[in-house]
Amino acid sequence: MEDGMVLRVDSGAARFSPGNWKGDAGRGGSLYRQSWNNGAWCSFTWQAAREAPVAVLLARGASNRISYFLNGNLVDGVHASGEIAISGMAAGVENTLVVYLRNSDQYARWNDGDNAVRVLGLRIDGRSSPGIAPAARPWVLLAGDSITEGIEAQNGGDNFLCSYSFYLSRALDQIGFDLSVSACGFSGWLRPGNGGGDVPAYFMVAGGAYHEGLSRWNRIDEGVSLLDGEGRISAYGGENSGPAMILINYGTNDAICGCARADVEASIAGALAALRAAAPCAAIGIIMPFGLESDAVFPDGAAYAASLREAVAAYRAGAEDDGVMLFDFGADFARTVTREPYANPNGVHPALLGHAQVGAMLAARCAAVLAGGKVSPLRQDR
């Protein structure tokens, strides 16, 4: 590409989803942004040349696939490595590219693993010029497991764009919110993530004791904090950029692995207290895992569901914090979403129909909370 230029990751033409990217200098820097989270996204905006415009995304990722929307048109399942030529540009007008991390092998993602995606920028031809990315918006942070990142969501195939998380992001977009997804297969409140367990558990408690080094609730990656200098959750590292809502969908893998229920309850209680301190102005929604009370799939699921309910209720009562809530769709829905055609044959992972139902139901709950401006007594004077 003659006389081209690169729209760097720290330029005004670029924007990255809040809360789930690191950079070459902590959470910033000019060389790259990197994320291991399927569902993380970035965007670039530029004015294309009037004739034969060219744009090339510069990215690296071993097994990763990305999907991108160019001016709203989808190109799905592109290998995220090397120079990715962007097709379908509109000549002579402003173009916006939105790239999603779609799926990857479930290992070597944490701590600069090979299956993290590194974005180096967007190279455009010399006749095109940088644009200005849309301004940052209020945001929602969603943490979860393989269901949240879209494992088997495309009727057995892994695809974030078929997950309830993506459907939720489309609904939130309509009311002016961005979604940040931080999700990892195999993970739970106490269960480490990825096939090899390299991603820490969300909030590790063992024998009643919290283990900071084995927890990830406050980290984007190894050595990269999710918190600002004041100890608050931050979109990009600066102060006063916390989420409007935090959603957590954990418990399925803790039940599968038979984690001690007392430790699960202690983990939930400790996580809620830590999250409230780190996000005093956020609504916090604990999602009852959708299929947990299906006896046919999770023989002990009802007991773990009861532990989750008890832990949330105890925290709410003790802290007098009605900004914490439980999104519970009930045992009947759990049985529905773990059966075909709403689930894949193993019953654990919803199929496309199941994700669509969950996405619509959860979006309605979230929109009601966000529109209602629910405020906890703890947060009224913050």
pLDDT number for residue 378 = 34
CA atoms within 13 A on the CB side of 67: 18
The residues facing 16 across adjacent strands are 42
For the record, the structure tokens of 368 come out as: 């009601």
- The torsion angles phi and psi of 220, rounded to 5 degrees, stand at -90, -40
pLDDT number for residue 106 = 94
- Give exposure, 179-213, as e/b (b: 16+ Cβ within 10 Å): bbbbbbbbbbbbbbbbeeebbbbbbbbeeeeeeee
300-341: pLDDT as tens digits: 999 999 999 999 999 999 999 999 999 999 999 999 999 999
For the record, the structure tokens of 106 come out as: 């479930």
The mean pLDDT value for 351-375 works out to 91
Q: How far is CA 210 from the centre of its chain?
A: 24
The mean pLDDT value for 203-229 works out to 97
Tracing tokens 């906890």 back to the chain, one arrives at: 376
The residues facing 355 across adjacent strands are none
Confidence of residue 272 (pLDDT cuts 50, 70, 90): very high
The mean pLDDT value for 9-38 works out to 98
Considering the chain, what is the average pLDDT of its residues? Answer: 95
The mean pLDDT value for 145-168 works out to 98
Confidence of residue 3 (pLDDT cuts 50, 70, 90): confident
Structural domains for the chain? 5-130 (2.60.120.260), 139-379 (3.40.50.1110)
pLDDT at 212 over 50: yes
Q: Where are the alpha helices (DSSP H) in the chain?
A: 146-149, 164-174, 252-256, 261-278, 301-319, 330-337, 352-372
Q: How does DSSP assign 256-276, residue by residue?
A: HTT--HHHHHHHHHHHHHHHH
For the record, the structure tokens of 23 come out as: 């950079």
Q: How far is CA 142 from the centre of its chain?
A: 5
CA atoms within 13 A on the CB side of 361: 15
The mean pLDDT value for 347-363 works out to 98
The mean pLDDT value for 23-45 works out to 98
pLDDT number for residue 374 = 53
SS3 label, residue 181:
strand
- The torsion angles phi and psi of 52, rounded to 5 degrees, stand at 45, 55
pTM: 0.95
